[in-house]
C-alpha cells in the first residue's frame, strides 16, 4: 500500500511574511491528517526559514526544493547543490519540472543528472514528466513520458526509482485550469507503472506517482480515487492554505 503524498510547489511566489502566514495555516490545518504525507517546495531563499518554522512546530510536513544542481561543488555560479539542500532540511526536490524544461532549456539528460545528484545525497527526487498539448494531439503522450523516464533509467538504473516519486504533469494542464480527467490521468499513470514493471515489478508497485495540473480542493478526491494516482503535485492551489488543505484532506481520505 503506497502512502498518498500531496506536495505543494510554491514556484516563484511569496515573501517572508506571506510564506510564514501560509505555512502557519498549513501546519495548523494538517495536524490531524495522519494518513497523507504533506510536503512544500519553497523557493531556495525561504528554505531555512520554512525549515525552522516546521521544526519549531514539530511538524511532520516535509520540505522540498524546486530544483537542484547536477554538480556537487565548484565554479557553477548561481547553482545550489543537493548537499546544501539537505543541510537546510530538505527531503524532497523537484526534478525536470516542465517550466525548467520549457523556460530554462533543461533537457532529459540534465533532469536525469539532477535526479542522480539528488539520489547521491539521499534526497527524494520528484521526477516530473508529461507531454505538451501538441504531443498529446499527435498521440505521442506515452512516447514522450517513456523518453523522459528512460533518461533516468539509463543513467541510474530502474532501482534508483525505488522510493522515488514521479509526478505526471501534462503541460497543457499546468496553471491553465484544465485538469486531465481522472481517466486520462489514470491511463498515463498505469502506463508509467507498467513500463517500470517490465524492468522491475517491486519498483513499479512501490513508486509513488503523483498527478499535477490544476488540482484543486474541488477535483482532488476524484483524481486520488484512481488506482495508480498516489497523490498530487500542486502549484497554484498550494498558495491558498484552505484549498491546499482541502487537497491534503482528499489525500488523507484516498
Ligand atoms: C505545477 O506547477 O507543478 C502545477 C501542477 O501547477 P498547477 O497546480 O498550478 O497547475
pLDDT tens for 171-193 read: 999 989 888 999 999 999 999 99
- CA separation for the pair 213, 216 (Å, rounded): 9
What is the predicted pLDDT for the residue at 159? 96
Cβ of residue 169 lying under 6 Å from some atom of ligand 1: yes
Q: Ligand 1 center to residue 246 CA distance, Å?
A: 16
- Mutation choice for ligand 1 from 9, 177, 219, 248, CB with most ligand atoms inside 8 A: 9
Residue nearest to atom 4 of ligand 1 (CA): 235
Expressed as residue numbers, the domain containing 133 is 5-253
What pTM was estimated for this model as a whole? 0.97
Tell the residue number behind the cell numbers 505555512, with chain if given. 23
Cα-to-chain-centroid distance, residue 224: 15
Total domains, the chain? 1
Mean pLDDT of the chain: 97
CATH number at residue 142: 3.20.20.70
Confidence of residue 141 (pLDDT cuts 50, 70, 90): very high
Cβ of residue 212 lying under 6 Å from some atom of ligand 1:
yes
pLDDT digits (tens, 9 = 90+) for 76-134: 999 999 999 999 999 999 999 999 999 999 999 999 999 999 999 999 999 999 999 99
pLDDT at 37: 98
Whole-number Å distance, alpha carbon 74 to ligand 1 midpoint, is: 32
Could you read off the pLDDT of 146-165 as tens digits, one per residue?
999 999 999 999 999 999 99
- Stretch (H or E) spanning 234: strand 231-234
174 lines ligand 1 (CB under 6 A): yes
How many beta carbons lie within 10 A of that of residue 69, not counting itself? 20
Specify the pLDDT at position 134: 95
Q: Quick check: 3 pLDDT over 90? A: yes
Label residue 45 by pLDDT band (50, 70, 90). Answer: very high
Asked if the model's pLDDT at residue 1 lies above 80, the reply is no
Please give the pLDDT value at position 178.
87
| Helix, strand, coil percent values for the chain (each to nearest 5) | 50, 15, 35
Question: 75 C-alpha vs ligand 1 centroid, how far in Å?
Answer: 32
What's the pLDDT score for residue 175? 87
Residue minimizing CA distance to atom 3 of ligand 1:
235
Spatial distance between the Cα atoms of 169 and 192, rounded to a whole number of angstroms? 12
pLDDT one-digit tens code per residue, 5-30:
999 999 999 999 999 999 999 999 99
Helices 141-156 and 108-120, interaxial angle, to 10°?
40
Active site residues: 97, 169
Is any ligand 1 atom within 6 A of the Cβ of residue 249? no
**11 CA to centre of ligand 1 in angstroms:** 9
Amino acid at each position: 500500500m503506497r502512502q498518498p503524498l500531496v506536495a505543494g510547489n510554491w514556484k516563484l511566489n511569496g515573501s517572508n511574511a506571506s510564506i510564514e502566514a501560509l505555512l502557519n495555516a498549513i501546519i495548523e490545518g494538517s495536524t490531524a491528517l495522519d494518513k497523507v504525507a504533506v510536503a512544500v517546495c519553497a523557493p531556495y531563499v525561504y528554505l531555512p526559514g520554512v525549515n525552522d518554522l516546521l521544526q519549531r512546530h514539530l511538524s511532520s510536513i516535509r520540505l522540498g526544493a524546486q530544483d537542484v544542481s547536477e554538480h556537487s561543488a565548484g565554479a557553477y555560479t548561481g547553482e545550489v547543490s543537493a548537499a546544501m539542500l539537505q543541510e537546510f532540511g530538505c527531503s524532497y526536490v523537484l526534478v525536470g519540472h516542465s517550466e525548467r524544461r520549457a523556460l530554462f532549456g533543461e533537457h532529459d539528460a540534465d533532469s536525469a543528472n539532477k535526479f542522480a545528484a539528488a539520489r547521491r545525497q539521499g534526497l527524494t527526487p520528484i521526477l516530473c514528466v508529461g507531454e505538451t498539448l501538441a504531443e498529446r494531439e499527435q498521440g505521442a503522450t506515452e512516447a514522450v513520458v517513456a523518453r523522459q523516464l528512460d533518461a533516468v533509467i539509463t543513467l541510474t538504473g530502474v532501482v534508483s526509482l525505488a522510493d522515488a516519486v514521479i509526478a505526471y504533469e501534462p503541460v497543457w494542464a499546468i496553471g491553465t485550469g484544465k485538469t486531465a480527467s481522472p481517466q486520462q490521468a489514470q491511463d498515463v499513470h498505469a502506463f508509467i507503472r507498467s513500463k517500470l514493471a517490465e524492468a522491475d515489478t517491486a519498483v513499479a508497485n512501490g513508486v509513488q506517482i503523483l498527478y499535477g495540473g490544476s488540482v484543486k480542493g474541488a477535483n482532488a478526491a476524484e483524481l486520488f480515487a484512481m488506482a495508480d494516482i498516489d497523490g498530487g503535485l500542486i502549484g497554484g492551489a498550494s498558495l491558498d492554505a484552505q484549498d491546499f488543505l482541502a487537497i491534503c484532506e482528499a489525500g488523507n481520505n484516498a
